[in-house]
Structure 1
Amino acid sequence: MERRKAQLNKDIELINSTLSKTASDKRVTLKQLNALRTQIRLREEKISTINSEIRLLDGQINENVNQVRSLQSQLTQLKSDYAAMIRFAQKNQGSYSKLMYIFAANDFNQAYKRLKYLQQFGEYRQKQAKYIEDTQANIKNKISTLNKNKREKDHLLGDQQKEKNTLGTAQSKQAKVVSSLTSQEKKLKQDLAKKKRDALQLERAIKQAIDREIALAKKKAEDEARAAAAKAKAEGKVAPTTKTSTGSVLNSTPEAAKLSADFVSNRGKLPWPVANGVVTEYMGVKKIGGVTVNVDGWTIRTNPGSSVRSVFDGTVSIITDIVGSTMVMIKHGEFFTVYKNLSSVSVSKGQKVSTKQTIGTADGQSEIEFHIYKSKIEQDPKYWLTPN
């Protein structure tokens, strides 16, 4: 929970930098609204994390309180037993001495046993005294831990209240932004229409590139099938049958099939395309000012000039400019990953890349688009990338 809270603080700081940059802009933008929504989501998650920490501390406090009570009860019993032992020793001290008790034995064996009994009695008294000291020290430590837990809880409660206050401010600001966008409905619809056109243009470019990859793989598979058939005919054998589905075409070589299988086996464990980033737009349908928008892929906010990296081993399929920004697509067997909004690219078409290898840098807006496709079917990155 501490690690998660630290990560949330980093993400909130990243989003705050976005908001501070847009604060001077008098015209409200969708980017500003997305940043506010992300900030609110992160703060709500941080409050939830703090609540979990408080519940955990409450459990530890209750456990320590019960342990202190149990130890105090044990200490009372130990002191009572020790006092009774001392009274018994004092009461019987004048009746006979230890030597007389030993010499009064009937034989040597009984005398030895009496000697051992006196030694054990003395050792037991020492052990009881040690038990009392240890129990007192244990109680002291538990009380110290309990006080520490209570201080931590007080700190968390203060942090929680601070986050709630900040959250309230952010929610009020979001309401104003939404209201402002609604009042600028014509401009909002124009922005959303442009956003939709850009998304469609990107989708067409991606699918055309995938179609080319499928066509190349199909041609290669057909050429290999013809060669195999000719060889089989020459040897008087039956020609092997070949599959023609898109998936099998893209996986027509052992290398491609293994790459696809490895990609699938890493589902939910793929690294992020940037070392430090926060999602400002998730894949799915959302409403903005009463207008429904279908969002493809993820938009990830990162630091200016951050390196963008491949999430898995593969081969660079295309590098092109789409809607005024550079896009790189990497082929991983029958899977494809797309990285858009790069200001520079450090790889070339046809180059093999490895997991986490830098392929370029984020543009001046510090927001990249990231997409995953299985053949031509888009996948939701949240099921493939490692949870942040």
Structure 2
Amino acid sequence: MKLNKLLLSLLLTGLCSTGFAQSSKELIKKKEALQRQIELAEKNLNKTASGKKLTLTEINTIKAQVRLMQDKISTINSEMKNLDHQITENTGKVHNLQNRLSDLKKEYANMIRFAQRNRNSYDKMMFVFAASDFNQAYKRIKYLQQFGQYRKKQAAYIQGTEKDLSNQIVVLDKDLKNKNNLLKEQVSEKSKLDKKKIEQTVVLNQLSKQEKQYKQDIQKKRQQQEAISREIRAAINREIAAARKKAEEEERERERIAAAKAKAENRPAPAAPAKPKSATTSEMLRATPEAAKLSAAFENNRGSLPAPVATGYIVQHFGAYKVDQATANSDGVTYNTAEGTAVRAVFNGKVASISPFQGRYFILINHGEYFTVYSNLKSVSVSKGETVSTKQVIGVVGDSNGVGELEFQVRKGDKAQNPEGWIAR
């Protein structure tokens, strides 16, 4: 019974450790991804900081770096918590194995003493012949045989337990070393974050000296965003109008077929149906089975869509934002990335529109009731009406002050959605 309980305990702790190990792997991947983003931001910052005039891109890059560094430290803290759990469990395993080894050695010692007392063949024969009948004598012979086999098994158990104990101590030592390395990494990252915050303070002080110029940059950016938003809404409205026209044509065709069939059968023509209530935008965009299916598939992938660029970091989030005294609103998110980075469709769909805008392009992709928008493309590699698949390259990102910059939106009809709720983290 004790052995069963011990094995169950070890099994459960082993399963828990496996869970932590998997989680730790995910945290390590996340930390590595954050480090790549931090390094890319630093590379971009070196490009934008070469001029004397402070730029909006430079300020946003430093803000993004601070956020990424804080995320990395948070990830390290999560790693350390996992390691603490693993260390606690592995310490418990070591203690259990030590206790088990002690019990096994005691049992084995008792068996050895018993064997010493009954070591000659005469004693064994007397033990058998002292039986009251043949059945009992047979059982005593089997007992002696099983006792010898059990003693060998106990010796093997002791050797196996000693090996398990040795292995577990190695694992525990490794966990302790990993925790020590994480502590050092945490101290290093906090030091880097402190330096970056000082740099941010210097930049913000510089911003106050260039406040007028910076407000002009914000105003220019706001005007650009408003202009492109109008273009996007107009493109979406054209798609909605086309969907409405198609639905009306299909309804007239059904009425024509019904009338022709009634005439052929010498029946009165069916009465014209009452004019239905005007369909909503969602109903128009989901009118066909194909569109409805595509919309449902897009909705089912909320939170798991790939990012529109394979490498990059978000410098501008969705919604209203404020820097110093200047305020603006964003209908999507802005990614900073390397120059020449490929832009990818985040889901299957159809290219609804490709429009030039101030020397760049924006692409509108239809996903049934939903649309995704990719703005500030230097060049495009798809055409209007083309069907695209998830992660298919649709163009190349344009630059801003030498840094690749992509504006990305998700819309339900003409209503802007927060893309960060749709993209996999």
TM-score, scaled to structure 2: 0.85
Amino acid at match of 1:360: G
Where do 1:86-235 residues align within 5 Å? Answer: 86-93=112-119, 97-105=123-131, 107-234=133-260, 235=262
Amino acid at match of 1:252: A
Instruction: Compute the displacement of 1:93 (Å).
Output: 4.2
CA contact (8 A) 1:313 1:353 kept: yes
**d(CA) in 2 for partners of 1:121 and 1:357?**
70
Provide closer, same or farther for how the CA distance between residues 376 and 109 of structure 1 changes in structure 2, counting only shifts above 3 A: closer
**d(CA) in 2 for partners of 1:103 and 1:226?**
107
Calculate percent identity across the aligned residue pairs. 48
Deviations 1:16-49 (A, max 9, x none): 2111212322222111111111111111111111
Task: Work out whether 1:374 is the aligned partner of 2:400.
Answer: no
Instruction: Compute the displacement of 1:384 (Å).
Output: 1.7
Provide closer, same or farther for how the CA distance between residues 109 and 191 of structure 1 changes in structure 2, counting only shifts above 3 A: same
CA contact (8 A) 1:326 1:340 kept: yes
Return the match for 2:68 from 27, 35, 42.
42
Amino acid at match of 1:306: T
Instruction: Compute the displacement of 1:261 (Å).
Output: 2.5
Paired position in structure 2 for 1:330: 365
Provide closer, same or farther for how the CA distance between residues 352 and 69 of structure 1 changes in structure 2, counting only shifts above 3 A: closer
Could you say what secondary structure the match of 2:379 adopts? strand
Please list every run of 5 or more consecutive structure 2 residues that lacks an aligned counterpart in the other structure: 1-26, 263-268
Return the match for 1:246 from 275, 281, 298.
281
Instruction: Compute the displacement of 1:219 (Å).
Output: 2.7
Instruction: Compute the displacement of 1:94 (Å).
Output: 7.3
Instruction: Compute the displacement of 1:150 (Å).
Output: 0.3
Where do 1:283-362 residues align within 5 Å? Answer: 283-362=318-397
Paired position in structure 2 for 1:63: 89
CA RMSD of aligned residues (A): 2.1
Amino acid at match of 2:182: L
**d(CA) in 1 for partners of 2:83 and 2:254?**
69
Amino acid at match of 2:374: Y
Mean Cα deviation higher: 168-177 or 119-128: 119-128
Paired position in structure 1 for 2:12: none
Paired position in structure 1 for 2:308: 273
Instruction: Compute the displacement of 1:233 (Å).
Output: 4.5
Instruction: Compute the displacement of 1:92 (Å).
Output: 4.5
Amino acid at match of 2:206: S
Could you say what secondary structure the match of 1:276 adopts? coil
Could you say what secondary structure the match of 1:275 adopts? coil
Mean Cα deviation higher: 33-42 or 255-264: 255-264
CA contact (8 A) 2:360 2:379 kept: no
Instruction: Compute the displacement of 1:299 (Å).
Output: 0.7
**d(CA) in 1 for partners of 2:137 and 2:165?**
42
**d(CA) in 1 for partners of 2:37 and 2:77?**
19
Paired position in structure 2 for 1:19: 45
Could you say what secondary structure the match of 1:47 adopts? helix
Deviations 1:177-202 (A, max 9, x none): 11211221111110110011011001
Amino acid at match of 2:223: R
Paired position in structure 2 for 1:73: 99
Provide closer, same or farther for how the CA distance between residues 75 and 182 of structure 1 changes in structure 2, counting only shifts above 3 A: same
Instruction: Compute the displacement of 1:8 (Å).
Output: 1.3
Paired position in structure 2 for 1:383: 421
